[in-house]
Amino acid sequence: MSTVLPDWLNILMIQANDLPGAPIVKIHPDHPCWPSLWNEIKDPPTAVAVQGQLQTLAQPSVAIVGTRRATLRGLAFARALGLVLAARRWCVVSGMALGIDAAAHQGALDGGGPTVAVMGTGLGRVYPAVHGALRQEIEKNGCCLSEYEHDTGPRKYHFPQRNRLIAGMVQAVVVVEAPIPSGALLTAQLALDNNREVFAVPGPVDQETSRGCHHLLRQGAHLLETADDLLQVLGSPAPDSAGPAEVSTCVAGPVAGSAARWILDRLDFDGIGRDDLRRRFKGTEEVWGEGMLALELAGLIRRLPGGTLARTVWRV
């Protein structure tokens, strides 16, 4: 049986040589930036190629992982969680895949980085191709790494191998959305095997993407409703650093800026008058509209009778 991914998936891959990037450096276990936690796993890499800011690998890190077929709610949560952890000086690690991975990386970048992408291809490839720009941003504020030869394309067995590196280099793995079975659940199991903390984000009971997280919770994973749930277990590498301390299940949307955060912070589940809220907002109508649009696209607010706005508990 061939281990090559379907042709339609390989089309989503481009040559990284077509993109500007930092030099590629190959590091070994004796390198000062080698993630020390890799030395504790059963099958550590013997060497990895790194492109970007090598010092990122030496920072305390947390993985945020999940399905490629994420809901808007899941994308919003992953992005905002990545932002908060980055603001607290945690390095956010993920696999640069579509869905939750990409949202987590982008959130970390929104929070000023750092973030690390552990790739299932060689560094000479960008997979999926739509993440060419994301990869460049990751390398400016963090790095991409791979244990495969430079021009190696995606193979099915690469991704479980890649997941062991993600689980092995972090202090905790957060699963935001995942069906059963899934690569995210494999990453969580690898984390447990390596005595790492595992967190799971609950979701709607009728969604396939919630079932993996609920399975982990039944198995004893930490419940993660806010970023504080993780910080209470792991602490913070920089407790005095600036940045929001909490991300709720109704976090700001995938492209939420300050207006969206301002609006969401002032809403409850019962409803607040829209006109009153607009009068209190100091920004322009254009900025207000952008914030409202971001929240509505993410399914995080709802309009109630009488011109009121309220938070949405879950997007269903």
Last residue of a domain, one of 218, 234, 250: 234
Q: Are residues 28 and 127 in the same domain?
A: yes
Whether pLDDT at 253 is above 70: no
Q: Are residues 29 and 140 in the same domain?
A: yes
In this prediction, residue 256 carries a pLDDT of: 38
Task: Report whether 201 contacts 227 (CB < 8 A).
Answer: no
Same domain, 183 and 277: no
227 and 293 fall within a common domain: no
| Range 74-93 average pLDDT | 89
Tell me how far the alpha carbon of residue 127 is from its chain's centroid. Answer: 16
* Pair 151, 280 in one domain: no
Are 127 and 276 in a shared domain?
Answer: no
Confidence tier at 10 by pLDDT (50, 70, 90):
very low
Cα distance between residue 105 and residue 225, in whole Å: 19
| Structural domain includes residue 240 | no
Distance, first Cα to last Cα, the chain: 38
pTM: 0.75
The answer to whether the CB of 75 falls within 8 A of the CB of 103 is: yes
If pLDDT is split at 50, 70 and 90, which confidence band does 295 have? confident
Confidence of residue 191 (pLDDT cuts 50, 70, 90): very high
Q: Are residues 45 and 101 in the same domain?
A: yes
Angle made by CA atoms 4, 134, 59, in degrees to the nearest 5: 95
Picking from 234, 249, 278, the residue at the C-terminal end of a domain is 234
Residues 207 and 290 in one domain: no
pLDDT tier, 242 (very low <50, low <70, confident <90, very high otherwise): very low
Question: Domain for residue 245, yes or no?
Answer: no
307 shares a domain with 189 = no
The residue segments making up the domain with residue 201 are 7-234
Confidence band, pLDDT 50/70/90 cuts, at residue 157: confident
Whichever domain contains 142, its CATH number is: 3.40.50.450
Residue 42 is assigned to a structural domain of this protein: yes
**One domain for residues 269 and 222:** no
Judgement on whether residues 225 and 299 belong to the same structural domain of the protein:
no
Q: What share of the chain is helix, strand, coil (3-state, %, to 5)?
A: 40, 15, 45
The structural domain count of the chain equals 2
Q: Give the pLDDT confidence of 23-67 residue by residue, as tens digits.
A: 899 999 999 999 999 999 999 999 999 999 999 999 999 999 999
Task: Confirm whether 129 is domain-assigned.
Answer: yes
Is residue 131 located within the same domain as residue 270?
no
Q: Any idea what DSSP says for residue 200?
A: E
Residue 252 falls inside a structural domain: no
- Quick check: 238 pLDDT over 80? no
